[in-house]
Structure 1
Amino acid sequence: MNGFYQLTRAIAAIGLLAMGGAAAAPAYAGPAELALLQSYLGDWRGRGVLVGANTETVLCRLSLKPGNQDKVNYSGRCSLAGTQLSVAGTMAYIAASKRYEAVMSSNATFTGVAIGQKRGNGLIFNLRERDQDEEGKELAITAQINLARDAINVVFEVIYVENGDSLRADVPFSR
């Protein structure tokens, strides 16, 4: 399994919580939806472990800032095993769909949209994607980003469909 490629694809999922690369539909969020998104503005740091063929420490920084049209822009960077991954995107409440969305792009050529739902006082974004690695092997990528009060937690997994090999990480963030 190509660990570097899987790793960069997997870490790209982390970026789904504070992104800016692709434009979301017009948001027109109400005051409550906008206030919930804006409650996460600021600088965040995360430290977790990536488990696969080897175990690696993941260190991340994330910055959420006000965007245009009731959106929150984010940018982040993660490092592990001497590799840097950067992500950027936008989070917004899409009134027409009655849901939150996070859109992202990364330097690992990954782009995606995560659908968010309000849970209690926070938000949970889920991403499920299928893709191929540079050798044409099919990958299943999943990520869950949980924004709850003064914490953000990202859990992501990349599975090679053909043989079940996987990478999994849990990265908690705090201000």
Structure 2
Amino acid sequence: MTTFGSLTRAAALAGLLFSAIAGVTPAVAAPADVALLQSYIGEWRGRGVLYGASEETVVCRLTLTQGNQDKVNYNGRCALAGTNLSVAGTLAYVEANRRFEAAMTSNATFTGIAVGQKRGSGLIFNLRERDQDEEGKDLNIAAQIQLNPEDIHVTFEVVYVESGDSLRAEVPFSR
């Protein structure tokens, strides 16, 4: 079984926060799309579980603020077993691509762009990436964030390609 080091856990937390929200190119969005993004502005808190070789509690906070033009900026932090992870990014509706996009940078060298789509009265962002851990082992990373009117639910999974070992986090957020 692969042991998950602090950098792998930090990458998992980065994905978790990213999948909890995600620079994006300038956008011109329809008023309803802008209003939907802006409806998430505020303070969010989450507590969930990271499943791997063992279970660990994850505690997160996320702040969304008005950005330039029609964008929403976010900053987040998660704590897990003495490891802190911070992420920052922007959400926007990118008219040129005709879709919602979330971009993120983190202190764990994890970066990415997720594509979002309307689902009911909320948004769902999905991210799929391939990366390597600190030992050069290939990882498949998948994240999903469901932004609902009253809550945000994040699911994140890292799978080691060679061994099949995995690390999965699920964190519900509320205001």
Say whether the fold is shared (TM-score over 0.5): yes
Q: Please report how far the alpha carbon of residue 3 of structure 1 lies from its aligned counterpart in structure 2 after TM superposition.
A: 3.0
Given the alignment of the two structures, is residue 6 of structure 1 paired with residue 13 of structure 2, yes or no? no
CA contact (8 A) 1:87 1:107 kept: yes
Amino acid at match of 2:10: T
2:16 aligned counterpart, secondary structure: helix
Given the alignment of the two structures, is residue 18 of structure 1 paired with residue 21 of structure 2, yes or no? yes
CA contact (8 A) 1:64 1:75 kept: yes
Measured in 2, the distance between the counterparts of 1:166 and 1:92 equals 31
Matching of residues 118-157 of structure 1 within 5 Å: 118-157=118-157
Given the alignment of the two structures, is residue 44 of structure 1 paired with residue 47 of structure 2, yes or no? no
4+ long deviations beyond 6 Å: none
1:8 aligned counterpart, secondary structure: helix
Which whole-Å deviations, capped at 9, do the CAs of 1:10-51 have from their partners, x for residues lacking one? 1111232434xxx21111111000000000000000000000
Measured in 1, the distance between the counterparts of 2:46 and 2:112 equals 21
- How many percent of aligned residue pairs carry the same amino acid? 66
Equivalence for 1:160: 160
Q: Please report how far the alpha carbon of residue 75 of structure 1 lies from its aligned counterpart in structure 2 after TM superposition.
A: 0.2
Which whole-Å deviations, capped at 9, do the CAs of 1:79-137 have from their partners, x for residues lacking one? 01011000000000001111000000000011100100000100000000000111110
Measured in 1, the distance between the counterparts of 2:21 and 2:97 equals 20
Q: What 5-or-longer segments of structure 2 have no aligned partner? A: none
CA contact (8 A) 1:15 1:89 kept: no
Amino acid at match of 2:11: R
2:24 aligned counterpart, secondary structure: coil
Amino acid at match of 2:67: G
Measured in 1, the distance between the counterparts of 2:5 and 2:145 equals 23
Equivalence for 2:75: 75
CA contact (8 A) 1:6 1:167 kept: no
RMSD: 0.9
Number of residue pairs aligned between Structure 1 and Structure 2: 172
Q: Please report how far the alpha carbon of residue 8 of structure 1 lies from its aligned counterpart in structure 2 after TM superposition.
A: 0.8
Equivalence for 1:169: 169
CA contact (8 A) 1:118 1:124 kept: yes
Q: What 5-or-longer segments of structure 1 have no aligned partner? A: none
Equivalence for 1:106: 106
Report the TM-score, using the length of structure 2 for normalisation: 0.96
